[in-house]
Amino acid sequence: MAESGARSEDQALSREDSLRARDRERVRRSRAEGRALRLLWLLAGPGVLVMLGENDGPSMVSYATTGVVYGIGFFIPFILLTFVMAYVVQEMTVRLAVATHRGHAELIFQRFGPFWGYFAMADLVFGNLLTLVTEFIAIQAGGLYFGLSPAVSVLCGVLVVFASLALRRYATWERALLLLALGNLLFIPAAFLAHPHPGAVLRALAFWSPLPGGFDTKFLLLMLADIGATVTPWMIFFQQSAVVDKGLTRVDVPQGRLDTAIGALLAAAAAIATLLAAAPLHAAHAVAQTLATGADFATALKPYIGHGGATLFALGMTEAGMVAAMTISTSSSYALAETLSVGRSLNLDFRAGRWFYGAAIGSTLLAAGIVLIPGAPLLAMTLAVNVIATLLMAPALLFLLLLVNDREIMGGLANGKLANLAGGAIVIGIALAGAVYGFMTVFHP
C-alpha cells in the first residue's frame, strides 16, 4: 500500500511537471519567434489577478464609502498613489519568485526559521479569513439586489470557488479567473452614468485637493481602509506562489513587471470609477453608515445613475467578491502547503494535493458560514477588515524587504537603492498611519 501511494504521488508530480513544461515550451517558441504580444499573453496572469483580486468586496465598499463621505477631490490621487505602492511591493515579489522558485511562506521558514515562519503564517491566515468573510458579504449583497436570499447567494459563491479548484490545471484556472476578473471594469460604465464633472476630476488629479473637512478619525479610517484595499499581505503570498506555479524564470522578469503594471492600472481605474459612481450620494448628503452592503449602495444610487448603472454596480460587487474568494483561498492553500512541505500546485490532482485543496475548501466553508450569522454589522466589518489588513502589512513588508536584499538567494535581482528607498517609505508610512489611528482612536474616540 505504501509503495502504491508513493507511485500515485510520483505520477501526480510528473503530471504537474509535464503540464508546466508544456506551458514553458509555448513560451520558448514565442520568444524564439519574436512574438512579443503572444509572449506577454502567455506570461501575464499573476499580476493582473493579484491587483484585480484585491479590488475585492471590502475594497469596493471602501471606495464607494469614500465617494459618499468626501466626493471627488483628495482621494482620487490618493487612490492612484496606493496603486503605485502596490506595484512597488508586487514587483519585488515577482523578482523574489523567479530568483528562488519558492513560495513566500516556504522561503520565510527556510531563511528565518520556524518561529518567524509561523508568525508570518498567523499574520496571513488571520487576515485571509477575515477578508474571505467579507468577500461572501459582497457576494450576498450582490445577490440581495437581484432578489436572491443570502443562503442562495453564498451557496453560489461557494460552488464557484469549488468549480475553479476542480479545473486541476493552473493555466486553465488562471485564464478562467482573468475572464471573470474583467467584470471589475463594470464600475467604469457605472461611473460614466453618474456624469462626474470632467473638470473636477482633472483638477483633483492635477492639483490634489486639500484635506476635506480636516484631519480627524473618520478621515484617517477611510485613508487606512483605502490603503488596505490596495496593499495587503495575501497579495505577496499569492503572487509569489502563482509566479512559481506558472514557471516564470529570470528571463521572464520584464513580462512579469508589465503584467503587474497592467493589473495596477486596470485596478486603479476600477477603484476610481467606484468612487465616482458613488459620488452623487455625497452631493445628496447621504449618510454612509446607513449603507451597510454593496446592495444598499446600488439601491441608493439608482435615482442618480439609473437602473442600468445600479445593476452594473451590483454585478461588479458580486464579481469582486467571487474573484477575491478564489484568489484569497488559493493564497491560503499555497501558504499552508508550503509550511507542511506538501504538494502545492493547481496542476495537482485531488489526492496528491489534498492539503492544498483542503485548505481552500475549509477556509471557504468557514467564511461562508460566518457570513450567514444573523445581525452581523456588515459595513463596520467590511471597513475594519481593510484597516486590519493595513496594520498587518508592515511586518509582511519587512520580511519581503529582508528577502529581496538577501544577495545569496537573489543574486543580480536583489533590490537596488531606489527600490529599498521606496519599500522603506511604504513601511514607515503604513506604520505611522496605523500608530496615528490608534492614538486618535484612544484619545479622541
Q: What is the pLDDT of residues 117-130, one digit of tens each?
A: 888 888 788 888 88
Residues in the chain: 445
What's the pLDDT score for residue 229?
78
Q: Which of 10-24, 27-41, 99-113 has the highest mean pLDDT?
A: 99-113
Spell out the domain ranges in the chain.
Answer: 44-443
Q: Is residue 361 over pLDDT 70?
A: yes
As a whole number of angstroms, the distance between CA 445 and CA 440 comes to 7
Contacts of 106 (CB under 8 A, 6+ apart): 338, 339, 341
pLDDT score for 345: 83
CATH class of 44-443: mainly alpha
Rounded to the nearest angstrom, the gap between the alpha carbon of residue 214 and the centroid of all alpha carbons in its chain is: 30
Give the pLDDT score at 377.
67
Rounded to the nearest angstrom, the gap between the alpha carbon of residue 357 and the centroid of all alpha carbons in its chain is: 19
State the Cα–Cα distance between residues 236 and 241, nearest whole angstrom: 9
CB 157 within 8 A of CB 139: yes
C-alpha pair distances (Å), 79 with each of 59, 224, 229, 327, 414: 11, 11, 9, 22, 28
**Confidence (pLDDT) at 271:** 94
pLDDT of the residue at 11:
46
Residue 432's pLDDT is 79
Average pLDDT for the chain = 84
Query: What pLDDT, on the 0 to 100 scale, is given for residue 10?
Result: 45
Q: How confident is the model at residue 158 (pLDDT cuts 50, 70, 90)?
A: very high
Q: Give tens-digit pLDDT for 320-355.
A: 888 889 998 888 888 888 888 888 888 888 888 889
C-alpha cell at 301: 444610487
pLDDT, position 395: 83
Q: Residue 428, Cα to own-chain centre: how many angstroms?
A: 22
- At 7 the pLDDT is 43
